[in-house]
C-alpha cells in the first residue's frame, strides 16, 4: 500500500463514521449522500491499487534486469581478480582467459558507437584461419549468332569465375592497469577494459579496410562533373543505385560548398533519413557518409620549396626514403636558402572521395574472437608488471580484409591547394 492508498482508506473510514452518526440521528438523506461519497472513494481506491501493482511489477522487472547486469559485471571483475591471484600463486600457466560472451557483446556494441567502416563493407564470419571464395566474373555477352539451316553452330564463351583468398591475421595490443584499480569498483574494471578493447578493435578494422581500398589506383576528381562521371560511367548501372560517397571532414567541407547555377547548395539532408546527407545534382542523388579525419585522413602534397630565404610562419620539411615511400620531417630551425637546401612545403591536400558500393567491393573476414591474456609478472617493452605493480592485459582479435570486386568502387581524391597540414 502506498501513501495515496493510505490517504483514501483513511477518508473512507472517516466517512463511515460520519454516515453512522447521520443514520443514528435519523438524517437518512445525509447518510445516503455520505454513502455515495464512500462508493466514489472505494472506486478511487481500486484504481490506485491497480496502478500501484502495475508500477511495482515494472520496478521489480527493472531491479531484476539491473541485478543481471550487475552480476555480469561482478562476474567479469571476479574473473579478472581470480586470474591475477592465480598468477601470483603460480597456478596458471599464462594467466589467460577468453572474454565471456556477454562482455564480447558489449565490446561489439561499443565498437559501433563511433564511426566503424565495417558497417559499409560486406562482413562474413569465418571459423577457419584461411579459405577461398569463388565469384562469377563480370563479362560482356554478345548473344547468339544467326545460323542457317544445316550450318555449323559456333561455340560461345562460358561463364568465367574468379577466386579471392583470405588469411586471418592476428592483431593485438597491451593495456597496463594499476593493481590499485583492480582493487577498485567492479564497474571501473569492466568499463576500462571493454571501452579500450572496443575502440582499439574499431580503429584496427578501419585501418585494414582503408588499406584494402588504397590497393586500387587513385583517380583524381577535379570537381562535381568528375564525381558524376564516376557514378554514371565508371561504375555504371551495375552499381550506381547502391553507391555512396565516402569522404572525411575535409571532403564534407568541400561538398558542402558546391552550388548549382542558381546558387543553391547541392548537399542536402536525406528526406527519409534526416541524420544522413545526400548530394543532389540534377539526376544524380547519392548518399554521403562522412568519416572523421582521425579515421580517414587527407594526404599532404609536398613540393620543393622555391623560397630564396626562410619566410617567417612557414613550415619546411626535409625528405628521406625512396619514391612511393617518402618520409617528410619538419625542419625545427630552418636556415639558409630553402630552394637549395632541399626543403619542401605542403602546397595542397588530397581529400579522399571514395565512390561506389563498398559492400560489393570490400569484404571483411571475421574470426569473431576477442581474447585477453593477463599477467602481473610479464614485461612488455618499457613496462614491467612486477616492478611497477601492474597487471598487463593483452587483447587479441583476428580478421582479414580483401578486395572482393575492384570495379565496384572508385578510389578517388580531390586535390585542394593551400590546405593546412592535416
pLDDT tens digits, the chain, 422 residues: what are they? Answer: 677 778 888 888 888 888 888 888 888 888 888 888 888 888 888 887 777 776 655 545 554 444 445 666 676 666 666 555 444 333 334 444 445 556 667 777 777 767 899 999 999 999 888 998 887 776 666 677 778 887 888 777 777 777 889 999 999 988 888 877 777 666 677 777 888 888 888 999 999 999 999 999 999 999 999 999 999 999 998 899 899 999 999 999 999 999 888 888 899 887 777 668 899 877 788 999 999 999 999 999 999 999 999 999 899 999 999 988 899 999 999 999 999 999 999 999 999 999 999 999 999 999 877 777 777 777 877 888 788 888 888 888 899 999 999 999 999 999 998 744 43
Are residues 48 and 193 located together in one domain of the fold? no
CA distance 103 to 73: 9
CA distance 129 to 234: 35
CA distance 24 to 28: 9
51 located within any domain:
yes
Residues near 142 by Cβ (< 8 Å), separated by ≥ 6? Answer: none
Are residues 29 and 10 located together in one domain of the fold? yes
Are residues 412 and 377 located together in one domain of the fold? yes
SS3 state at 95: coil
265 located within any domain:
yes
255 located within any domain:
yes
Are residues 202 and 243 located together in one domain of the fold? yes
CB atoms within 10 A of CB 139: 9
DSSP H/E element including 104:
helix 101-113
Are residues 275 and 304 located together in one domain of the fold? no
Are residues 237 and 269 located together in one domain of the fold? yes
Are residues 285 and 334 located together in one domain of the fold? no
Are residues 281 and 340 located together in one domain of the fold? no
98 located within any domain:
yes
**DSSP class of residue 404?**
S
Are residues 362 and 319 located together in one domain of the fold? no
Q: Which residue range(s) make up the domain with 336? A: 299-352
Are residues 178 and 248 located together in one domain of the fold? yes
152 located within any domain:
no
Are residues 285 and 243 located together in one domain of the fold? yes
CA dihedral 264, 266, 269, 273 (to 10 degrees): 140
154 located within any domain:
no
The count of structural domains within the chain is 3
82 located within any domain:
no
Are residues 203 and 239 located together in one domain of the fold? yes
Q: What is the CATH number of the domain that holds 128?
A: 3.90.1690
36 located within any domain:
yes
Find, among 285, 198, 294, the residue nearest to 244 by Cα: 285
Amino acid at each position: 500500500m502506498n501513501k495515496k492508498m493510505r490517504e483514501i482508506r483513511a477518508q473512507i473510514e472517516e466517512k463511515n463514521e460520519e454516515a453512522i452518526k447521520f443514520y443514528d440521528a435519523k438524517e437518512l438523506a445525509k447518510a445516503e449522500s455520505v454513502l455515495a461519497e464512500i462508493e466514489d472513494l472505494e472506486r478511487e481506491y481500486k484504481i490506485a491499487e491497480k496502478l500501484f501493482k502495475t508500477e511495482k511489477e515494472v520496478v521489480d522487472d527493472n531491479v531484476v534486469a539491473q541485478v543481471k547486469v550487475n552480476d555480469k559485471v561482478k562476474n567479469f571483475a571476479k574473473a579478472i581478480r581470480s586470474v591475477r591471484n592465480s598468477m601470483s600463486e603460480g597456478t596458471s600457466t599464462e594467466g589467460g582467459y577468453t572474454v565471456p560472451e556477454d562482455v564480447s557483446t558489449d565490446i561489439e556494441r561499443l565498437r559501433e558507437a563511433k564511426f566503424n567502416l565495417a558497417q559499409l563493407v560486406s562482413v562474413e564470419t569465418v571459423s577457419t584461419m584461411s579459405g577461398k571464395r569463388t565469384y562469377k566474373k563480370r563479362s560482356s555477352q554478345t548473344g547468339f549468332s544467326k545460323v542457317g539451316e544445316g550450318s555449323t553452330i559456333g561455340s560461345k564463351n562460358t561463364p568465367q569465375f574468379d577466386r579471392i583468398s583470405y588469411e586471418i591475421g592476428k592483431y593485438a595490443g597491451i593495456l597496463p592497469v594499476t593493481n590499485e584499480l583492480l582493487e577498485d569498483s567492479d564497474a571501473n574494471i569492466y568499463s576500462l577494459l571493454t571501452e579500450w578493447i572496443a575502440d582499439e578493435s574499431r580503429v584496427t578494422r578501419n585501418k585494414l579496410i582503408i588499406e584494402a581500398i588504397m590497393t586500387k589506383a587513385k583517380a583524381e576528381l577535379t570537381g562535381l562533373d568528375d564525381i558524376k562521371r564516376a557514378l554514371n560511367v565508371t561504375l555504371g548501372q551495375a552499381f550506381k543505385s547502391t553507391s555512396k560517397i565516402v569522404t572525411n571532414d575535409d571532403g564534407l567541407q568541400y561538398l558542402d560548398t558546391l552550388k548549382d547555377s542558381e546558387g543553391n547548395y547541392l548537399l542536402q539532408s536525406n528526406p527519409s533519413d534526416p541524420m544522413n546527407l545526400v548530394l543532389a545534382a540534377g539526376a544524380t542523388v547519392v548518399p554521403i557518409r562522412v568519416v572523421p579525419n582521425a579515421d580517414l585522413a587527407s594526404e599532404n602534397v609536398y613540393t620543393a620549396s622555391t623560397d630564396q630565404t626562410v619566410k617567417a610562419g612557414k613550415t619546411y620539411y626535409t625528405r628521406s626514403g625512396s619514391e612511393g615511400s617518402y618520409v617528410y620531417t619538419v625542419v625545427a630551425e630552418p636556415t639558409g636558402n630553402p630552394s637549395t637546401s632541399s626543403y619542401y612545403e605542403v602546397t595542397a591536400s588530397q581529400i579522399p572521395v571514395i565512390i561506389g558500393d563498398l559492400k560489393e567491393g570490400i569484404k571483411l573476414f571475421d574470426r569473431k574472437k576477442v581474447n585477453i591474456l593477463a599477467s602481473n609478472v610479464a614485461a612488455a617493452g618499457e613496462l614491467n608488471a612486477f616492478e611497477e605493480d601492474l597487471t598487463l592485459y593483452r587483447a587479441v582479435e583476428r580478421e582479414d580484409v580483401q578486395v572482393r570486386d575492384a570495379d565496384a568502387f572508385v578510389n578517388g581524391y580531390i586535390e585542394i591547394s593551400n590546405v593546412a597540414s592535416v
